[in-house]
């Protein structure tokens, strides 16, 4: 099976449809599948739902799709750093399903494992629990959360081989692994494609069986908030 594609547009050819649910990896601005998101923008698909920890910033990440009004709903944990995200949500233009970070990651992981739902204590007694089934276990109350089964998963990795085995680097591993597993189709963009057999099997974070298509490219690697200290006087 051919997995390597020339560019992000080709990698998404025949995959995108209006109204689909997309699971996207990334944490803050780290590990965002920026090339694939740009290709989605250029495709013109609309009424999209995204399951993603956050939406990047106004002009980067999912934020570029919010600007073009291609996103109908976000399933997210964090809405900070993105003024357009907040504006659309507060004005009623964008649906938002809030999830605690751990719950969102587990919903993706559950979907990837074929688990339709699970119980968690996180969110009990808050608006997160509104409308959800409650059940007691050993005297403690839990709420039912559903697994996420996405039409498409888009992720960004550090290295891949031609079979789709992926290695992520540091914080970029957050959310990318569970997001990749819960899509019917997973498309990964990577910094480098290495020869088959060159990756240490113990260092592979996601087996190639989960990955359908790969594209290699150059990435911007933005820093979300740069913190520095004043130079000390000699």
DSSP output for 92-159? TSSEEEE--HHHHHHHHHHHHTT--EEEESTTTTSGGGTTS-EEEETTEEEEEEEPP-EEEEEEEEEE
Overall number of domains in the chain: 1
Instruction: Give the confidence band of 223 by pLDDT, cuts at 50, 70, 90.
Output: confident
Task: Name the H helices within the chain.
Answer: 8-11, 34-43, 63-67, 83-90, 101-112, 176-181
**What's the pLDDT score for residue 147?**
98
**What's the pLDDT score for residue 57?**
86
Range of 62's domain? 4-117+148-216
In a domain, 231, yes or no: no
Query: What are the pLDDT digits (tens) for 31-56?
Result: 999 999 999 999 999 999 999 998 88
Query: What are the pLDDT digits (tens) for 162-206?
Result: 999 999 999 999 999 999 999 999 999 999 999 999 999 999 999
**What's the pLDDT score for residue 59?**
86
Copy the structure tokens of residue 168.
Answer: 């992520």
Arithmetic mean of pLDDT, 112-120: 98
- The reported pTM is 0.92
CATH number at residue 208: 3.40.1080.10
In a domain, 143, yes or no: no
In a domain, 135, yes or no: no
Answer yes or no: is pLDDT of 140 > 70: yes
Instruction: State the average pLDDT for the chain.
Output: 94
Query: What are the pLDDT digits (tens) for 200-218?
Result: 999 999 999 999 999 999 8
In a domain, 130, yes or no: no
In a domain, 132, yes or no: no
In a domain, 183, yes or no: yes
In a domain, 167, yes or no: yes
**Bridge-partner residues for 71, per DSSP?**
48
In a domain, 133, yes or no: no
Answer yes or no: is pLDDT of 128 > 80: yes
């Amino acid at each position: 099976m051919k997995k390597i594609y020339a560019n992000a547009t080709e990698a998404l050819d025949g995959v995108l449809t209006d109204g689909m649910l997309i699971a996207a990896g990334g944490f803050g601005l780290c590990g965002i599948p920026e090339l694939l998101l740009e290709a989605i923008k250029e495709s013109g698909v609309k009424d999209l739902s995204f399951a993603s920890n956050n939406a990047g910033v106004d002009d980067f990440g999912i934020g570029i799709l919010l600007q073009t009004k291609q996103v109908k709903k976000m399933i997210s944990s964090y809405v900070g750093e993105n003024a357009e995200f907040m504006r659309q949500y507060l004005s009623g233009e964008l649906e938002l399903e809030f999830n605690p970070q751990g719950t969102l990651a587990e919903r993706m992981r559950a979907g990837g494992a074929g688990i339709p739902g699970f119980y968690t204590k996180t969110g009990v007694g808050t608006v997160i629990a509104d409308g959800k089934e409650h059940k007691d276990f050993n005297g403690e109350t839990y709420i039912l959360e559903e697994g996420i089964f996405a039409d498409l998963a888009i992720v960004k990795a550090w290295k891949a081989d031609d079979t789709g085995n992926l290695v992520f680097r540091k914080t970029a591993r957050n959310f990318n692994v569970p997001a990749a597993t819960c899509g019917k189709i997973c498309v990964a963009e990577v910094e480098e494609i290495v020869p088959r057999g060159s990756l240490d099997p113990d260092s592979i974070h996601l087996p190639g069986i989960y990955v359908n298509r790969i594209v290699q490219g150059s990435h911007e690697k933005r820093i979300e908030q740069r913190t520095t200290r004043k130079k000390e006087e000699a």
